[in-house]
Amino acid sequence: MLTPGYALLGLRYLWRRFLTRGGWRWRSDGPLFLGPRLELEIGRKARVDFGRFVWIGHGTKIRCHEGVVEIGAKTVMGQECTISAYKRVRIGEQCVIADRAMFIDFDHGVVEVERPIRVQGIYTREVEVGSNVWIGYGACILRGVSVGDNSIVGTNSVVTKDVPANAVVAGVPARIVRMRDAPERLRWPNPVEPDPEAWTTLPQPE
């Protein structure tokens, strides 16, 4: 049943799609819900892809300067989240992302101490979050990190290394608190399962 609230969401979608500068640079494979005060900035050589029934909360900022941002079907992003991409940020399907979470795929150069940081350029590595991931309030997913399917990231965590599938992590920097049981039947397309033995992956607690 069409309600005034859904009608407003529909009008906001059409305005974003056809009457804004970046509206022609994003794609969706179905309806999605865009909250008020959304900042959607898409560079000329960039692209943002939304899955069907994605929900983007109030005041969220998606800045795809270059490369691509992908948000999978039925993922819900809370209010005032930030995605900033120069290469690729991918978030899988049916994730739950709390307010003020941040995803960023670049860092500033800081090696040359006699030059201002702002003129030293940036370096990039892809960020990938699997499906069915719960990310807590204010968590930060930094350059080069992969977060495995079915994992949980605690409130205000700063994730600097890969998170194995089914892990629960928390802290600054994030550490594995415990492992969840792996699902027996639940499967996701394009699974994200970082190698638990790799040096780039958080070690499991002993």
In this prediction, residue 24 carries a pLDDT of 67
Confidence of residue 3 (pLDDT cuts 50, 70, 90): confident
SS3 string, 68-116, reads: EEEECCCCEECCCCEEEECCEEEECCCCEECCCCEEECEEECCCCCCCC
Assess if residue 195 is contained within a domain: no
Please enumerate in sequence order all residues whose Cβ is within 8 A of that of 93, keeping only pairs 6 or more positions apart, or say none: 51, 72, 73, 74, 75, 131, 132, 188, 189
Domain range enclosing 58 = 4-179
Assess if residue 93 is contained within a domain: yes
**Percent residues over pLDDT 70 in the chain:** 90
Assess if residue 87 is contained within a domain: yes
Assess if residue 194 is contained within a domain: no
Give 8-28 pLDDT, tens digit per residue. Answer: 766 766 666 665 666 667 888
Assess if residue 95 is contained within a domain: yes
Who wins on pLDDT, 144 or 197? 144
The total number of residues shown for the chain amounts to: 206
3-state helix, strand, coil in the chain (%, to 5): 10, 35, 55
CATH number, domain with residue 46? 2.160.10.10
Q: Is 108 a catalytic residue?
A: yes
Assess if residue 96 is contained within a domain: yes
pTM for the structure as a whole: 0.89
| Annotated active-site residue in 108, 115, 178, 180 | 108
CA–CA distance, 32 with 191 (Å, rounded to integer): 23
CA–CA distance, 62 with 67 (Å, rounded to integer): 13
Assess if residue 203 is contained within a domain: no
Assess if residue 205 is contained within a domain: no
Domains held by the chain: number: 1
CA–CA distance, 171 with 173 (Å, rounded to integer): 5
